[in-house]
Amino acid sequence: MELRRLGTTDIEITPVGYGAWAIGGGGWSFGWGPQDDSESIAAIRHAVESGVNWIDTAAIYGLGHSEEVVAAALNGMSESERPYVFTKCGLVPDPADPMLPNRRVGDPASVRDGIEASLRRLCVERIDLMQMHWPADNAAVEDYWGVLVEARDAGKLRAIGLSNHDPEQLARAEAIGHVDSLQPPFSLIKRDAAGTVLPWCATNGTGVIVYSPMQSGLLTGAFDRARVDALPADDWRKRGPEFTTNLDANLALVDALRAVADRLGTTPGVVAIAWTLAFDAVTGAIVGARRPDQVDGWIAAGGVRLDDATLDELDAALRSTGAGTGPTLP
């Protein structure tokens, strides 16, 4: 796979990276249900062996368990074999019940503690990219961004970024220290970033790694209403609007995706990922896998380039189905 420079950093990443959200397992508010750690480790190693050179995780995924599984998967790899590891801080579980909505914290002490905890769980002395997961409810952007800049300057973090922040918040952070990367949600269904944060990042030299390009599995082509109904009770998707109130329009879009994929000799998921990578501001896309065979279902996306005719076909499908919101063409 080709390598793309992440903003102005010295980090060069493959167009697709391994997303470690789902492997955190269940037992928290945005869990994906039970998960076998041995399958997670096998999936990570298979992704790396297949050419993926970065992993994205977060402290909140599985309440720290995802970071621990990532560390276990990379244990024993040589320096030349190891992928970059990106993680996130700033979300903590509700102390009364981890199934309640997460708390968004950004006071300097909490952010510093979060950095140290991730360093320990990942078993590293420096984290390649640390991102603030969401804007904090208890602190200003300047408060937590200053801590990340400080930690980057101290050598604990190679690069720093923001996730789920808007252009105004990005600009406030940039005034303190350069924002190396942004992680927004972006897919054929959730397209709003194309008209808001992507232009800001292109103008300011900020790399972009998008999450949920297959809309949490919905755009793989493997879902229908029966499968959604059969999701475990503690799988957050069972409550998500894209899997409930918006499901009919989204499944109609998947049918159109399938027709495009059949013509190209690939899968709907690969087409969905390639669509996000068609935007010039996007450096890479985060794609999850709970088993090694799921990696095989999307790894080809790193080498697929959609031509104008295909992009126009997908534009027409979005307009006819009414699925999602946001710009429909790169």
List the catalytic residues: 61
Which single residue is written with the structure tokens 């944060």? 197
Identity of residue 292? P
First to last CA, the chain: 22
Q: Are 296 and 228 in contact (CB under 8 A)?
A: no
Bridge partners of 4, per DSSP, are: 13
CA distance 305 to 133: 30
CA 103 to chain CA centroid, Å, is 19
Tokens of 171: 């600009």
Tokens of 104: 């968004």
Q: Are 247 and 187 in contact (CB under 8 A)?
A: no
